[in-house]
Structure 1
Amino acid sequence: MDFVTKLPKAQSGNDTIWVVLDQLTKSAYFLPMKETDLMDKLARLYLKEVVTRHEIPVSIICDHDPRFTTNFLRHFKRLWVGDAQLTGLELIHETTEKIVQIKQRIQAARDRQKSYADVRRKPLKFQVGDRVMLKVSPCKGVVRFGKRGKLNPRYIGPFKVLAKVGTVAYRLELPKQLSRVHSTFYVSNLKKCLSDEPLAISLDEVHIDEKLRFVEEPVEVMD
């Protein structure tokens, strides 16, 4: 959490934005407040706007003085559990229950995030005869003619799918320039070719080794 202060005062009197970020879900909350608001009011605002959506926080990280975080947690705890005095055994029992609840809520949040990702993540499937592009990567430490990053080629092809090998690999029909490369590849190294254009990168212009790493070679030196 952090605070953006010294803002122009609104009609409501608010002149500060309290920024709260949930690290697990990456959700961000921007809560209007007054710079002079007391800690008890902040604790109530946090309980209303954040805890009701994400449950009790496992930890709180703040760029302010550590004494602020300690003071805030003291008010938040008083608001959440009250001022009742507990015996040693009761305290241990309640703490154990809270830890179990926190672990269950963290796991539930992770499961929700995974389910969202799984919906968007569709496994690639190809048929025999499909044309696919093959991923390549530059040799580490080798840079020719200043080409880096996005300017480097990422895929070569297209190549014809000859057969499916197991559940996550395919065997491709490779040209003689790639005779040293094993012809079976994991699906993560392939992508569908959606056009009938010739090779995205001419194999005569790059040297590709058996590990699908390439080094660009000059075709012509221009003045």
Structure 2
Amino acid sequence: MPTERTRNFIEEFIDDEEQRLILVASCNAFDRLETKLTIEPSELQPIVNAAKNKHKAVWQIGGDFLWRLSINHEEARNVIRTLIHSRYVDERFQIMACIRKDVPVSFSKEIIREGIADTKGKRVREKAAQAFFDLNIKELVPDFEIALDKEQNEETKESIRMHLHLIRDGYYLKKYRENHLTLFFPNKEEWGGISICGISVKPEEISNEKMIKETINKRRR
């Protein structure tokens, strides 16, 4: 049973009866649909209910099921398209947060572009920037350069700037105060994603591109 581990998690950690019912229904639907060649949109509804739920433990599972089904099913991709345009910012954020590496790149790019263009959801834009980095989609660099220029929220702008530099340049250098610099760079993959390492450096250690790369190579685990 594909959802056996998820069902064990529900049994052990989800105490709320309503949440349990939603999750079990989504597991049942996923088990039915995963191996089908074609699916009807109505068959996805139990999974959609979980993906739209306000509780993190519920929407993470529902969103993950939708993205897994989107690998092979246009019907699931259409549901994700609907959710990324939802009138509710939480639903847009939640489906953006559940994006997976094994989804067709063309579809990932489509949804990330929608996320970074979300004018009313700063959290959605920030999560899109993280997905851009996690999936290492270099083709989106021009999109994020434009997004960086347009961004008005300083916190979100910093998130976009960091992830853009990490993908485009391989590092991000941030000055906190005079002679106090932090060098951020991608590290080894952990738990399905690439971790970001930050180290304090002195200006004389990073005076040119070659020195920056040498510093990163020395400090990378």
Bigger CA radius of gyration = 1
Question: Which has the larger strand fraction?
Answer: 1
TM-score (norm 1): 0.24
Relative contact order (alpha carbons < 8 A, sep ≥ 6): 1 or 2 greater? 1
TM-score (norm 2): 0.25
Question: Which has the larger helix fraction?
Answer: 2
